[in-house]
Structure 1
Amino acid sequence: MAGNDGKHRHELSHSHRVISSLIAGATAGALAKTVIAPLDRTKINFQTRNMSFNFREAVFFLVNSYHKSGLMSLWRGNSATMVRVMPYAAIQYSSHEQLKHLLKVETNAQKRQNPGRSFLAGSLAGVVSTTATYPLDLARARMAVTHKKQYKDLSSVFRNERFVNLYRGFVPTLLGVIPYSGFGFFTYETLKRFHSEYTLREPNPFERLAFGACAGLIGQSSSYPLDIVRRRMQTNNEYKTIMGTIRKVVTEEGLISGLYKGLSLNWVKGPIAVGISFTTFDTINKFLKNITVFINR
């Protein structure tokens, strides 16, 4: 893997590498989020309300939404998700590719000697993409938990909210994305490296899906309480600060049942989404690089 990437790096210009990673990242993010959109909406519904979570209630929410508003209601807010996730994923993956080079975590030897650099590259990529696209994340959350009459489309959220309100929950989101993105990229890249060292070949798509699933499981579990906090602050004006939100959630709903509400659902949808995302990015990015190299010969 490293050898092929190094070959591409010599043959491709910097602009071609950036464009390839942007296109691959946007496609990966869009595909992954569309697949798990109904589960994502279900999770947000429980995260933002003082109600207990279990899989029976989750299924009831999905069935009830279908009977009340039709099948497409399960993808309500997905248009906002696409507007947000495509630039988010494009920036995140492209930033990660550049940061790996900048922080010198490209070679296997350097990764073994400095595992913190791989984690740092992933964390910084998450910070950059989150900062650039946060208002779109808030708009998507508002649409996911409200009736269509309140927010008809994405633009209506921006028309009805003050600019400062579009960054409600930004701090816990930023704090959460550091371990989420850091552990996610680090786990995926490390598993790929170990696989290549022991099998002397690149992982196939199914193996990449498995590595991505592990990355999603670890990344999301490490940052989940902050995900609860950001959703509450995004969708309810009663929650003003991080500590105030944590105290209120713990007091009213309990430590585990409150701050980890819906985590079991995340263990289902998270690995699926992250696995699809990483696999799609690697596949499309490699394909675009090969096409560019072939054309430039």
Structure 2
Amino acid sequence: MGSSQQGSTLSTNVAGYVDGSSAGREFSHIDALPVYVKELIAGGAAGAFAKTAVAPLERTKILLQTRTQGFHSLGVYQSLKKLLKHEGVAGFYKGNGASVLRIVPYAALHFMTYEQYRCWIVNNYSALGTGPVIDLLAGSAAGGTAVLFTYPLDLARTKLAYQVAETRGSLGNGGRNFHAQPLYNGIRNVLESVYREGGARALYRGIGPTLVGILPYAGLKFYIYEELKRHVPEEHQSSISMRLSCGALAGLFGQTFTYPLDVVRRQMQVEHLQPSTSGGARYRNTGEGLAIIIRYQGWRQLFAGLSINYMKIVPSVAIGFTAYDTMKSWLHIPPRQKSRAVSAA
């Protein structure tokens, strides 16, 4: 009964807030938060939920992308089976702590800055209208902003996921671990080791292809998602299945165009940990990385793990967008056409 009364009071407060009545002076703690803070919370929660849901596929994808010994010739199913055999269920989530630690601020910044960039563009460049071009521009800018602030955590996640420990018997034919280098003990250990070896610059190793890839990917993802939603009848706008479907297609198309850049990024992040397969050459930039991979590993390597990425991206982006929209409703974030007025109030 208390819950029912609380919900009634909350509804009254929200209604008063919108129409300006005296009831609007009473707010719950949620209603009192600034809109951008609510967007941060919604984005962070959506990112953590989506990332954890696909962690086993993410770990396997990284092993395939980086040509980890013992995995580069395996398919998705066999890789998952081998991980389960040698590392147990915990092996599926190795590096997921770093992944979630990164994705919470990343997704929070991504979604929040997307909304803020979009509002800023609409208010200052009215000639562009409010169509999908705005989503493309705002999404790209938001993706770049989020990457710059969280990239060292992505680097740590990749290094943790790349190392394969011998925990359940021999992994190799000779009874040895895959890698001779000491295993990292956690996120902090990775960041300290990388900084000690190469300074702050080393923490951003691979940032070039990341930015080149994220700008079109993030833009396309928001563009496609919002464009698909515009074609859905009003009565179905809040449907979970509709949001899942639009999110899945958005991630699928966006990732396809930018996947080779993701492969270059992963290899740049771990290249000092693996034996050279490129005649001793190292990647100095994105273009050189693409050329070297094609020359020494074959063009197919640019799409290594793409099948598993399709398996991962469909639920990941779909869950992420759906969770974000759901959190926006739960946190009473006003519709976009009212955002400016509410913020001003």
Question: TM-score, normalising length from structure 1?
Answer: 0.86
Higher helix proportion: 1
CA offsets 1:263-296 (integer angstroms, 9 cap, x no match) = 12111110110000000000011111169xxxxx
1:277 aligns with 2:277: no
Aligned with 1:263 (options 306, 319, 324):
306
The 8 Å contact of residues 192 and 203 in structure 1, kept in 2 or not, is answered as no
Alignment of 1:92-171 (within 5 A): 92-104=110-122, 110-112=129-131, 115-147=132-164, 150-162=183-195, 163-171=200-208
| Percent identity of paired positions between Structure 1 and Structure 2 | 36
Question: What SS does the corresponding residue of 2:241 show, helix, strand or coil?
Answer: helix
- What is the one-letter code of the residue matched to 1:78? N
The 8 Å contact of residues 22 and 91 in structure 1, kept in 2 or not, is answered as yes
CA offsets 1:135-170 (integer angstroms, 9 cap, x no match) = 000010000001465111100101111222110000
Aligned with 2:226 (options 170, 186, 189):
189
| Structure 2 partner of 1:247 | 291
Q: 2 CA distance for matches of 1:48 and 1:82?
A: 21
The 8 Å contact of residues 77 and 140 in structure 1, kept in 2 or not, is answered as yes
The 8 Å contact of residues 65 and 267 in structure 2, kept in 1 or not, is answered as yes
Q: 2 CA distance for matches of 1:33 and 1:9?
A: 39
The 8 Å contact of residues 244 and 322 in structure 2, kept in 1 or not, is answered as yes
The 8 Å contact of residues 248 and 317 in structure 2, kept in 1 or not, is answered as yes
CA offsets 1:55-77 (integer angstroms, 9 cap, x no match) = x6222221111111111111000
The 8 Å contact of residues 208 and 285 in structure 2, kept in 1 or not, is answered as no
- What is the one-letter code of the residue matched to 1:265? I
The 8 Å contact of residues 87 and 133 in structure 1, kept in 2 or not, is answered as yes
> 1:191: Cα distance to partner?
1.0
| Structure 1 partner of 2:98 | 80
| Structure 1 partner of 2:55 | 37
117-126 or 273-282, larger mean C-alpha shift: 117-126
Which entry has the higher C-alpha Rg, 1 or 2? 2
> 1:14: Cα distance to partner?
10
Distance 1:139 1:186, change over 3 A: same
The 8 Å contact of residues 249 and 259 in structure 1, kept in 2 or not, is answered as yes
Higher relative contact order (CA 8 A, sep 6+): 1
Superposition misfits of 4+ residues, deviation over 6 angstroms = 7-14, 50-54
The total of aligned residue pairs comes to: 278
CA offsets 1:187-241 (integer angstroms, 9 cap, x no match) = 111111121xx44552401110000000000111111111011001111134332
- What is the one-letter code of the residue matched to 1:263? L
The 8 Å contact of residues 216 and 271 in structure 1, kept in 2 or not, is answered as yes
Q: 1 CA distance for matches of 2:163 and 2:122?
A: 45
How much is the aligned-residue C-alpha RMSD, in angstroms?
2.7
Q: 2 CA distance for matches of 1:95 and 1:15?
A: 17
1:91 aligns with 2:134: no
| Structure 2 partner of 1:294 | none
- What is the one-letter code of the residue matched to 1:27? A
Question: TM-score, normalising length from structure 2?
Answer: 0.74
Distance 1:224 1:209, change over 3 A: same
